[in-house]
Amino acid sequence: MATTHHHSCTLCEATCGITVTVDGDRVTGIRGDKDDPFSRGYICPKATALADVHHDPDRLRRPLVRFGDEWIETSWPAAFELVASGLREVRDRHGKHALAVYQGNPSAHNLGLITYGQPFFRALGTRNLFSATSVDQLPHMLAALELFGHQLLMPVPDIDRTDLFLCLGGNPAVSNGSIMTAPNVRARLKDVRRVVVVDPRRTETAELADEHLFIRPGTDALLLFSMVNVLFAENLVCTGRLIPHLVGTGILAEVARGFPPERTAPVTGVDADRVRALARELAGTSRAVVYGRVGVCTQEFGGLAAWLVVVLNALTGHLDEPGGAMFTTPAVDAIPLAALSGNRGSFGRYRSRVRGLPEFGGELPVAALAEEIETPGAGRIRGLITSAGNPVLSSPNGARLDAALDELDFMVSIDPYLNETTRHADVILPPTTHLERSHYELALANYSVRNVAKYSPPVFRRGPDQRHDWEIILELATRVLGGGAPARLLAGLGPEALLELGLRAGPHGLRKLHRGLSLRSLKRQPHGVDLGPLERRLPGRLATRRGQINLAPRVYLDDVPRLRDLLDEPPGGELVLIGRRQLRSNNSWMHNSERLVKGRDRCTLLVHPDDARERGLADGDRAVLSSATGTIEVPVEITDAIMPGVVSLPHGWGHGRTGTLLRVAAEHPGVSANDVTDERRVDALTGTGALSGVPVRLGGA
C-alpha cells in the first residue's frame, strides 16, 4: 500500500520540501512539496535522486574491514572494537595530535553529526582537525568573527526584498544559494529589479542578470577596494542608523586611496567608468546588497575580498536593513549554543607544523593535510578519521593526498560508500542515509533568506543491522574516550531531545512565547513553519566586546600591502583555471545516480574561441591540461561564455581510480580538477585553498 511522507532534501543549502511516495520498502516517487511555505513545490533534479541513493546496490550497509586489497564485511561490535583499538594505539604511541579528523560539507546537513560529531571530534584534543570549510567559506567566517564578534554571524542577502543584487563569484541559480539558503533562486531573481553579476564566466545566474561583467580570477578584492575608494572620494558613504556602532571608517578611507578604479582596471579587466557607475548605483539604491561566494573565497586574496563585501554593504547603508545583508532569527540559534561551549571562534591561536598555516575555529586548512601526514617528526599525523567527506577529490592537489593516505598507520571512514578516499581506510563504518534519518536544518537555518523551521521524521526505519551517524559517533566516543554517565545520558537522549532543548531555548520557543515552537508543535506541521521575514538585529546581535563593528581590523590592514603589490605586478599572460557548479552535480557524492550523470559528458573544459584557435583546438577535441602539480586529459567545450585567458572545469569528478565501488560513476568518471590545483597556493591571510585562478597550460592531446 502506497504512503506519502513529507521530508526535506538535504543535498544542498536550499533545504527544499519534498513529498516521498513509498510502496513497502520502495520509493515510487519524489516531488516538491507545494505546501512547504519556503520552497513552495520547487525542487531541482538532485532531489529525485535521493531514491537512487536509498536503493543503490553499491551503498554500504554493514561495516567493511580491509585485508590487503580485499574487503570483508564484519559485525558492528567487531568493527567498533577494531576501530577503537586502532585509534587508541595511535594516540597512546604518538600522542593526541597524531590523530587527525576530516569532515566533509554534508556534516552541515546532518542533525546527528552536528549534535554528536562536533563534540566528539573536539574532545579528541587534537590540533589536526580539518574540514571542507578551508576550501569553501572560511574567509566569510573570518569576516564574521572580526567584524561581528562570532564566526557564525554571517549576514545573508535579503533577496526577496532587494532592488539591486550585486553578485560576485557565486552562481545561486545553480547552487540555490550558498550562505544564502533560498529555494528556487531563479524565481527570486526574476523579482529583483536589477541583477548584476561579476564573474570570469557568464554563468547561469549571469544569463538571468541585467548585466554581466567579466573579471580576471583572483582580483575581486581590487574591484571591491576600488568601489570603496569611489564611495569615499565622491562622499557617497552613508552608514545610516549604524553610524554610532561603526568604527574604523577613517582608516578605511585612507587605505582605499591607493585603489582608485583607474589603477585597478588594468588588472581586474573591469573598466574604471563601470566601477564608478556601479559604486554610485549601489550607494543610490535604497534596497541593495553585495553578495560574494565561493569564487570570492577560494582565491589568493579571499580573506580581503570577503571582508570588503561586508564593508561595502556597511558603507552604503545596506547592512542589517531590509533588502540588504541581514541576520536571521532562527528557531534554534547556533550563536548562544556555541557560546555555551566557549566556541565563539578563533584565528591564529596555533599554526600547522610544517608550513605554519593558521588555525581557524579550532581547525587547520586542509591544504596542509598531505604534508602533515608525509613529513616526519613530532606531531606527524599517523591516524585519520574521515566523516562525510571525500578529500581526495575535493581538496587541492588531491593526487598528493591520495598517495599520502597510504602512509597512515590507521584510518577509519564514516561513509556509506567505498569511494576515492575511503578506499584507503582500514575500516569503513557506513551510516544510514537521507531517507532513513530524521532531519532538521540546525546549521543552515542560520543563513536562510526567510526564518523558517521544519522537522522531518525518517521515511524509513533503519534496519536492525544499520547505524545512524550519531550512534556510530557515540559508540566510538565511549570506546576511545571512556563511557560513564555523560555517554549514557547522550545515548538515551538522541538528536531529537537536543533539538527540543534548542527549540525551547530559542527566540521562538516556549520561554519567549506562550504558544511557541517545540518539537511536538513542529511534528504537527509536517510542511514546516514560516516564522517571517528577516528582521533588524543590530546592535543587539553583535558579539563584539564593545558592541561595535570595527570596519578596519588590523588583521586585514596588515594584508593590504600584499594586494597592493598586485597593482605593480599584474597577473601574467598565462591561462588560469576556475571551477564551476552544475545543477545535476553535488560535489563528488551524487555521481553514482544514473539519472544525474546520464546524457552528454558534463566534465568538459570551457575554453574561449580565441584561446582554442591559438592552440589549434576544436570543439569536442581532447586536450591536455597541466599545472605545476599535475596533468589531466579532458574534452574541450568552446564557448564565449568564458573570458579569454580563463578555462573552467567542474568540481567533484575523477572517478577512474581503482579500488572503489561506484559502478555508475565509473562509467562516467570525468577528471578531477583537484589533480591540477596546487596545495601550495593558498590565501596567505586565511590559509584557504586558492582553487580559483590556478596557472595552467593547455595543448592538444
Is residue 657 located within the same domain as residue 628? yes
**Predicted confidence (pLDDT) per residue in 520-533, tens digit:** 999 999 999 999 99
Number of helices (H) and strands (E) in the chain: give both, helices first.
Answer: 27, 30
Res. 545: pLDDT tops 90: no
- Could you tell me if residue 105 is inside a domain? yes
Q: What is the DSSP letter of 668?
A: S
Q: Is residue 446, in this structure, part of any structural domain at all?
A: no
Euclidean distance between CA atoms 471 and 456, whole angstroms = 19
Residues 6+ apart with CB under 8 A from 275: 223, 226, 227, 230, 261, 264, 265
Q: Which three cell numbers stand for residue 330?
A: 532562527
337 belongs to a structural domain? no
662 with 418: CB under 8 angstroms? Answer: yes
Which has the closest alpha carbon to 339: 493, 543, 538, 148? Answer: 543
Burial class (CB in 10 A: 0-12, 13-18, 19+), 267: buried
The set of residues, in sequence order, having a beta carbon less than 8 Å from that of 282 and lying 6+ positions away, is: 164, 166, 227, 288, 290, 312, 316, 318
Q: List phi, psi (to 5°) of 422.
A: -70, -15
Percent of the chain at pLDDT exceeding 90: 86
Residue 542 has pLDDT above 90, yes or no: yes
**Residue 636 resides in a domain:** yes
The CATH number of the domain holding residue 32 is: 2.20.25.90
What's the farthest any 2 CA atoms get from each other in the chain? 72
Q: Are 259 and 226 a contacting pair, CB within 8 Å?
A: yes
**381-429, pLDDT tens digit by residue?**
999 999 999 999 999 999 999 999 999 999 999 999 999 999 999 999 9
CA gap 584, 52 in Å, rounded: 14
DSSP characters for 387-437? ES--HHHHSSSHHHHHHHGGG-SEEEEE-SS--TTGGG-SEEEPBP-GGGS
Q: Is 645 helix (H, G, I), strand (E, B) or coil?
A: coil
pLDDT tens-place string over residues 106-141? 898 899 999 899 889 999 999 999 999 999 999 999
Q: Which residue is associated with the grid cell 569553501?
A: 136
**Whether 75 contacts 84, CB under 8 Å:** no
Confidence at 513, pLDDT banded by 50, 70, 90: very low
Residue 296: C-alpha distances to residues 418, 688, 689, 693 (Å): 33, 11, 12, 11
Task: Work out the pLDDT band at 334, boundaries 50, 70, 90.
Answer: confident
Q: Do residue 203 and residue 326 come from a single domain?
A: yes
Compute CA distances 45 → 30, 176, 595, 654, whole Å: 10, 12, 9, 21
- Note the pLDDT of residue 585: 87
Q: Verify that 145 and 180 share a domain, yes or no.
A: yes
619, three cell numbers? 570543439
Residue 420 inside a domain? The answer is yes
Q: State how beta strands 451-453 and 17-23 pair.
A: unpaired
Question: Is residue 175 domain-shared with residue 285, that is, in the same domain?
Answer: yes
C-alpha distances in Å from residue 659, one per residue of 230, 306, 632, 652? 56, 39, 20, 18
Domain presence at residue 304: yes
Question: What are the pLDDT digits (tens) for 156-214?
Answer: 999 999 999 999 999 999 998 889 999 999 999 999 999 999 999 999 999 999 999 99
Contact 221, 236 (CB under 8 A): no
Sheet holding 26-32, edge to edge: 2-8, 17-23, 26-32
Q: Read off the CATH number of the domain in which 88 is found.
A: 3.40.50.740
The pLDDT score that the predictor gives to residue 486 is 57
- Give me the pLDDT at residue 491, please: 63
Whether residue 437 is predicted with pLDDT greater than 90 in this model: the reply is yes
Q: How far apart are the first and last CA of the chain?
A: 56
Instruction: Tell whether 297 and 222 lie within a shared domain.
Output: yes
> What CATH number corresponds to the domain at position 597?
2.40.40.20
Using the Cα atoms of residue 637, residue 638, residue 641 and residue 644 in order, give the sign of their dihedral.
Answer: positive
How sure is the predictor about 514, in pLDDT bands with cuts at 50, 70 and 90?
very low
Mean pLDDT of 523-544: 94
Nearby residues of 396 by Cβ (< 8 Å), 6 or more positions away: 135, 366, 367, 674, 677, 678, 679, 681, 689, 690, 691
Residue 49 has pLDDT above 50, yes or no: yes
Give dist(CA 182, CA 14) in Å, integer.
5
Average pLDDT over residues 501-523: 77
**What whole-number distance in Å separates Cα of residue 87 and Cα of residue 317?**
52
Q: Alpha helix (H) ranges present in 546-689?
A: 554-557, 560-568, 594-597, 609-614, 663-667
342 domain-assigned:
no
Packing angle, helices 220-233 and 249-256, rounded to 10 = 110
Same domain for 69 and 51: no
Cell of 376: 616526519
Confidence of residue 339 (pLDDT cuts 50, 70, 90): low
Retrieve residue 571's grid coordinates.
597577473
Q: Determine the Cα angle at 422 with ends 109 and 293, to 5°.
A: 40
CATH of the domain at 319: 3.40.228.10
Are residues 271 and 409 part of one domain? no
Which of the four pLDDT bands, split at 50, 70 and 90, describes residue 587? confident
> What pTM did the predictor assign?
0.96
Measured at the CA of 393, the angle between CA 392 and CA 398, to 5 degrees, comes to 50
Q: Are residues 94 and 200 in the same domain?
A: no
Alpha-carbon distance of 307 to 149, in angstroms, equals 14
* Average predicted confidence (pLDDT) for the chain: 94
pLDDT at res. 574: 87
Asked whether residue 204 falls in the same domain as residue 226, the answer is yes
Question: Looking at the domain assignment, is residue 341 inside a domain?
Answer: no
Count of the separate structural domains present in the chain: 4
Please tell me whether residues 149 and 265 are part of one structural domain.
yes
* Average pLDDT of the segment spanning 632-640: 97
Assigned C-alpha cell, 521: 508543535
Cα separation, 542 vs 521, in Å, equals 30
Q: Which residues contact 624 (CB under 8 A, 6 or more apart)?
A: 631, 632, 633, 698, 699, 700, 701
Q: Within its chain, how far is the Cα of 141 from the centroid?
A: 11
Who has greater pLDDT, 701 or 543? Answer: 543
Are 101 and 218 in a shared domain?
A: no
Can you give the residue range of the structural domain that contains 78?
Answer: 64-126+365-441+452-531
Query: Are residues 290 and 220 both part of a single domain?
Result: yes
The HSE-up count of residue 543 (CA atoms within 13 Å, CB side) is: 21
**Residue 680: C-alpha distances to residues 24, 371, 400, 671, 689 (Å):** 52, 10, 12, 21, 8
Q: What is the DSSP string of 520-560?
A: HHHHT-TT-EEEES-B--TTTT--STTS-EESS-HHHHTTH
Instruction: Give the Cβ contact number of residue 540 at 10 Å.
Output: 7
d(CA 374, CA 353): 12
- In contact, 372 and 363? CB cutoff 8 Å: no
pLDDT, mean of residues 2-31: 94
pLDDT in tens, 464-501: 999 999 999 999 999 998 865 555 556 667 899 989 98
DSSP 110-152: -HHIIIIIHHHHHHT--S-EEEGGGGTTHHHHHHHHHHHSSTT
Q: CA–CA separation, 274 vs 450, rounded Å?
A: 32
Alpha-carbon distance of 655 to 663, in angstroms, equals 10
Query: b/e map of 143-162 (b: 16 or more CB within 10 Å)?
Result: bbbbbbbbbbbbbbbbbebb
Which one, of 134, 86, 81, lies nearest residue 382 by Cα?
Answer: 86
